[in-house]
Amino acid sequence: MDRGLIAFEQGVFGEDERLVFFDPATEKVTPVPGGERGYYARFSEDGSMLVWSRLREDREGTDGVMVHDLRTGKTRKIQEEGGGCPAFAPDGRSVVTSSAERIDLDSGKIDPLPGPKEGCRIELEDGRFLYTHHDDKIQLIDGDKIGTIYRAPGCRLDTASISHEGSNVAFIRRCKATDDFGVTVMGIDGSKPQSAVKGNCYGTGWSPDGKSMVSACVDAGETAASLWVFDLAGSAQPEKVQPSPVNTPTWGTRAPD
C-alpha cells in the first residue's frame, strides 16, 4: 500500500464523531488534535495541513472551519460559523468553502467567489473549480461561467476528490432507480468515466501515487461503513483497513514524522 497519511471520521456522525489519522505503513490510528465533532476533512496538496468543518455541540449546524498544521502540531479555527466542505487551494495558502468564499490563511481575510453560492468546490491549478451540488452533475466553474462535464440522470453525485497530479477526479454515485452505488473515476475533463468501486460508499481519497483509493463502504449485512483501500488497476483485492463506523476519508501525500 502506498504510504502518505489517511484521515477519516471515526464514530457515528451526529453523535460521537471525531477525526483521526491512519498511517497505512504501521496501521496506527491517532486522534487529530482538535478533531472532535470534525467532518469532511481534506489535506493540502503537500500533505502538511488538514482542513475540516466542525459540528456545533448540539449537532445542529456547522460551528466553523478548522485547520491543523502537521508540521507544528497546532490546530486553529479559521472561520467562526458555516463553511461546509472546505478545501485547500493548490498552493495551500487559502481555503474555499461551500458558501463560495475564499479564506486567506495568513490574513484571515474572507473574499466572495463568483458563481453559485452553495455547493462543494475544489480549486484547480488553472484557477477553475470542480463543482458538485448533491445533484446529477459534475461541473467546472470558470469565472462567471459554469459548464457540465459529466451527468448521470436520476443519480446523486458528491464528495469528489482530485488525484494528486491533477488529471483525474473520483466521486460517489448514488443511483437509486437502477440500484447502482459506488465510486466513479474519470478524467478532469469528464473523459473516460468508469466504475472503480461498487457498493454503498462515503467519500473518496486518492493515494499519493494515484494507483489506489480509500473510501468508507458498507459491508454486506452491515449498517455502518468500514474503511477500505481499493487498487484501481484491479491487480490486488480490496483491503479493509479499519472497522466500522467510519466516514468520508481523505489521503494525503505527507508521511508521519
Encode pLDDT of 188-218 as tens digits: 999 999 999 999 999 999 999 999 999 999 9
Q: Per the structure block, which three cell numbers stand in for 250?
A: 481523505
pLDDT at 2: 62
pLDDT at 183: 97
Of 151 and 179, more confident: 151
Rounded distance between C-alpha atoms, residue 108 and residue 79, angstroms:
8
pLDDT at 114: 92
Report pLDDT digits (tens) over 18-35: 999 999 999 999 999 999
Tally the residues of the chain. Answer: 257
**Placement of cell 508521519 in the chain:** 256
Rounded distance between C-alpha atoms, residue 208 and residue 185, angstroms:
16
Predicted model pTM:
0.95
Cα atoms found within 13 Å of the Cα of residue 180, Cβ hemisphere only: 15
Mean pLDDT of the chain: 94
Rounded distance between C-alpha atoms, residue 24 and residue 123, angstroms:
27
pLDDT band at 82 (very low <50, low <70, confident <90, very high): confident
pLDDT at 206: 98
pLDDT at 129: 98
Contacts of 152 (CB under 8 A, 6+ apart): 136, 173, 175, 184
pLDDT band at 167 (very low <50, low <70, confident <90, very high): very high
pLDDT band at 45 (very low <50, low <70, confident <90, very high): very high
pLDDT at 232: 94
- The full set of domains in the chain, from first to last, is 5-252 (2.120.10.30)
